[in-house]
A and B are shown apart, each in its own frame.
Chain A
């Protein structure tokens, strides 16, 4: 029972990190129509930005802010310099995925060229240990969970109550129609890149904090979890991504405790393939 509680605790943290990343990914895809496989590479680039700040003697929380800013700007630039020009040309969806894989190599191994291939860690304290309802969590883990809840609440508020959020939903539903209704879809898309880029930076740093040590290729596998969470809930569905992240995050950690740690990703993988095969629009999407 203690093992179960501990694994649920880990699962909550993993789910929190995953939720931040998956919400960003799914909003990005929904609004911009780019299935951006370089998302994981941008996350790890953010984690290294925070590492550089951290190494300079500043708190990793300052680094977190720097990572958010860098990834936000970086995502806007990658879109403006690469994805948007390809899209304007009418490039097919499948070629866009190949383009994003090319971007993945450039960013991921660009980071490796600068940072080297070895694993690094932040210099930070884990804080006190708390026992909450049978779960054992550190201060940092609690902060990660709180940040994730804040992101979910923020995204909910954005989509539900703000003009920008409504414009994003309209653009995601039908870009042409949204434009004809007077929504400046170009600007909405740029803002979406900035926003989701910021989320990827945030996700990258909390991912790095949660894993303890990380290297430039650490997010290769994590991207699988993100994709699983996104497809479980339905690509483009923000609430679906929250649900997917909760399911995948807790399922992987609980299965790690009870099957074998090496195979914890199998659950996510099977979930992803089953969803792709049976219901590619996800649990919260409408069936085709």
Chain B
């Protein structure tokens, strides 16, 4: 094996490794399916080229491009990363919460196809189909690029960069910010309801992944000294996806393994297939693509977690802990019984239309401090819709929502959660691939490590916050008797345990008020009673809860007051005893 061959192999491994790491961060950790990933690599490559090249009148002006700034190393590589990150910004409008993930992915795929077409056709900026050549290599004035010393030096720098990217991404992924990313990946609507700004998290992933892709493109172009649109087709993104899926989605080491197995491995294996004149010239490359398609299907079917599955983050519980950690937002402000309690949440004439159906029809409701207010009604009464409007999951068609004196009608869900208004969902909504402990920790607000900057600052910066959060989570787990499951994946729990995790997680968000959507549905009666008693105890400590339920027995036992909904309207409000005496309430239930 010649050293040239080995150098070539190592540099390609480093370049593909970086690209796969970037994609692993975006897709595996953040759940952002960027089918346009290759554009970012191409843009980085182009940027590095035009920063390093002389003006396009050089070499007889045989190729045309923008710029030609003749800048010294390492400016072209830095520029590649910066541009790779910046061009992510226009795409952020595709990844907001409004658009389905698969539609956003299609938008990015189409963008990749179209930008490639444009680059191929636009001669003034990209020199068209021919692309750019004679791209200067780093420091080629100071050294001789053909020498083996230079080549090995280049190799070492490329490998070091790849290792640096790995260490950097690991630091981010293993931080509280990384945990928020994984929570969003598992369930974005729930992450939103717990105060995570999904748009900002996704933007962070697009920019970060784009910068890494750009850097890898810059390194590649400096090595091969050419840049051509034909090399950056949409299908190249599929190759990188194949690498990440095969290596192990959500595991950065898996991404590196995938890079070696798929893009590098395929290139190398086909070298050893004897070429024969009888074969059509396109046969081997075509079959390579077919094989990559097959590999994706086979892995997704037989081993969706990849060769190196995502690691479980086990968090050791401190042996001793103080049982006096407060669970709610702030300790009870000694609420006295009676009607003088202040109103915490007020809905005024709320309306919500779905097409022609008016699901919520002018509901006004006031929930007072320290009460466990029940909301009952037959199926289709609009209870869950009302809860969703109050929490900000759905916008109201008209009406206002006031929380602690502040009009929050136009406020997105994550901001309401940050104010202390936290909801749970009717359907199981645990973050499946996070442990119970991580589910709880993911909801903790104001952790210093729960931002890109905090994550980059490193563990020393957020260690204290994390330790406090773990202690609090342990206290909550102890209260609900689930300590032994702390390090189990939430997705592996029983239905009842998952409901508990959800309630505990909502408590970790330091709520001032909880909106619970049938927290006891499908839960063993014994567990339902435990939940009910805990909720009553929480309210005694000062928590305010609005709970949707349609089991009358639960209402009887735990809720006071109770509001009744039917056909989108609020029928009545009062204690269960009062409501039972009112004929229209009884009718609504019997007729519904």
Contacts and interface: CB of A to CB of B under 8 A. Distances in A.
- Please indicate whether A and B come from the same complex rather than being unrelated chains: yes
Interface of A: 35, 37, 82, 85-86, 91, 93-99, 101-106, 108-110, 112-113, 116-117, 220-221, 223-224, 227-228, 231, 235, 262-263, 265-266, 269, 272-273, 276-277, 280, 286, 288
A269 B289 contact: no
Given A101-B238, A224-B114, A276-B99, 15 more contacts: A37-B106, A37-B109, A82-B297, A94-B101, A101-B296, A102-B293, A103-B293, A105-B296, A112-B289, A113-B282, A113-B290, A117-B286, A263-B118, A265-B117, A280-B103
B118 to A, nearest CB: 7
Given A93-B100, A269-B110, A277 B93 contact: yes
A99 B296 contact: yes
Contacts, number: 131
A276 B281 CA distance: 40
B293 A97 contact: no
A221 B102 contact: no
Contacts of B101: 93-94
A109 B290 contact: yes
B102 A97 contact: yes
Given A97-B33, A103-B293, A280 B113 contact: no
A102 B117 CA distance: 22
A106 B290 contact: yes
B102 A105 contact: no
Contact of B235 (A35, A105, A223): A105
B94 A276 contact: yes
Contact of A221 (B35, B107, B117, B281): B117
Interface residues of B, number: 47
A269 B296 contact: no
B517 to A, nearest CB: 20
Contacts of A231: 103
Among B281, B296, B304, the most chain A Cβ lie within 10 Å of the Cβ of B296
Interface of A, helix, strand, loop or mixed by DSSP? helix
Interface in B89-131: 93-94, 98-107, 109-111, 113-114, 117-118, 121-122
Interface of B, helix, strand, loop or mixed by DSSP? helix
B46 interface: no
A273 B111 contact: yes
B294 interface: yes
A117 B282 contact: yes
B292 A105 contact: yes
A104 B233 CA distance: 14
A35 to B, nearest CB: 6
A96 B105 CA distance: 11
Given A98-B245, A262-B121, A277-B94, A227 B110 contact: yes
Contacts of B301: 85-86
B522 interface: no
A223 to B, nearest CB: 8
Contacts of A263: 118, 121
A102 B286 contact: no
B283 interface: yes
B234 interface: yes
Question: Lowest 8 CB-CB distances: which A-B pairs, in order?
Answer: A105-B293, A109-B289, A102-B296, A106-B293, A262-B121, A113-B286, A117-B282, A112-B286
Given A116-B280, A262-B121, A269-B110, A94 B300 contact: no
A113 B304 CA distance: 28
A95 B286 CA distance: 24
A105 B290 contact: yes
B290 A94 contact: no
Interface in B267-300: 280-283, 286-290, 292-294, 296-297, 300
B241 interface: yes
B15 to A, nearest CB: 22
B224 to A, nearest CB: 23
Contact of A220 (B33, B111, B113, B282): B113
A110 B294 CA distance: 11
Contacts of B102: 35, 93-94, 96-97
Contacts of B289: 105, 108-109, 112
A98 B143 CA distance: 45
B98 A280 contact: yes
